[in-house]
């Protein structure tokens, strides 16, 4: 079981018991191993809809979630954290992507962000409510720049693989 997230794959799990958890209430469960509390939530969309899952209560901070995406060996934690970041912290994600993309010593980190967040797609992931048209345009431009850099990362890695 993941340390912070558990999730289905192609909707193969739904109920708390499917995840090895004990139901407590409609959207809450506990771990039989350590008694920790888990909250039901929709998680990462691999292309066919948001997967079913649970997160360990309380929800980690943005910094911890971002650290999980870059450093966790547990795939459920990586994609669970990515899902929460996309839904709750898209503006913070944009700032981190820009900072890491500019730091050439962190190309491996940027490559992982490209893969997990699908940054090669020029989509404005930032919220638009309560923003001016100019702010929305600026966010869109910044995400397009990240996508441009992400495509370069993908192309570079493709050339490296094909030349070996």
Q: Are residues 106 and 62 in the same domain?
A: no
pTM of the prediction?
Answer: 0.89
Specify whether the backbone of 59 is left (phi greater than 0), alpha (psi in -120 to 50) or beta.
Answer: beta
Q: Are residues 45 and 83 in the same domain?
A: yes
**Segments forming the whole domain that contains residue 54:** 5-88
Q: Which of 70, 88, 106 is the last residue of a domain?
A: 88
Sequence-distant (≥ 6) Cβ neighbours of residue 49 within 8 angstroms: 11
Query: Quick check: 82 and 116 in contact, CB under 8 A?
Result: yes
Tell me what pLDDT residue 158 has.
Answer: 44
Sequence-distant (≥ 6) Cβ neighbours of residue 88 within 8 angstroms: 62
Q: Which of 88, 104, 134 is the last residue of a domain?
A: 88
Q: Are residues 47 and 83 in the same domain?
A: yes
Number of domains into which the chain is organized: 2
Q: Are residues 96 and 145 in the same domain?
A: yes
Query: Quick check: 3 and 80 in contact, CB under 8 A?
Result: no
The CB density around residue 106, as the number of other CB atoms within 10 Å, is 15
Q: Are residues 77 and 114 in the same domain?
A: no
Q: Could you list the pLDDT tens digit for every one of the 164 residues in the chain?
A: 569 999 998 899 999 999 999 999 989 999 999 999 999 999 999 999 999 999 999 999 999 999 999 999 999 999 999 999 999 999 999 999 999 999 988 999 999 999 999 999 999 999 999 999 999 999 999 999 999 999 987 545 444 333 33
Q: Are residues 143 and 99 in the same domain?
A: yes
Q: Are residues 128 and 64 in the same domain?
A: no
Q: Are residues 80 and 137 in the same domain?
A: no
3-state secondary structure of 12: coil
Q: Are residues 128 and 142 in the same domain?
A: yes
Q: Are residues 65 and 127 in the same domain?
A: no
3-state secondary structure of 136: helix
Q: Are residues 95 and 68 in the same domain?
A: no
Q: Are residues 81 and 141 in the same domain?
A: no
């Amino acid at each position: 079981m993941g340390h912070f997230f558990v999730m289905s794959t192609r909707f193969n799990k739904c109920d708390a018991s499917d995840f090895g958890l004990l139901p407590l209430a409609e959207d809450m469960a506990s771990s039989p191993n350590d008694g920790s509390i888990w909250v039901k939530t929709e998680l990462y969309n691999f292309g066919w809809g948001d997967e079913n899952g649970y997160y360990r209560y309380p929800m980690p901070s943005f910094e911890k979630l971002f650290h999980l995406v870059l450093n966790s060996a547990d795939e459920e934690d990586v994609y669970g954290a990515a899902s929460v970041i996309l839904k709750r912290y898209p503006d913070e994600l944009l700032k981190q992507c820009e900072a890491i993309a500019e730091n050439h010593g962190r190309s491996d980190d940027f490559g992982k962000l490209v893969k997990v967040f699908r940054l090669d797609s020029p989509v404005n992931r930032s919220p638009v409510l309560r923003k001016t048209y100019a702010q929305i345009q600026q966010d869109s431009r910044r995400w397009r720049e990240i996508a441009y850099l992400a495509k370069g990362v993908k192309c570079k890695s493709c050339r490296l693989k094909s030349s070996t």
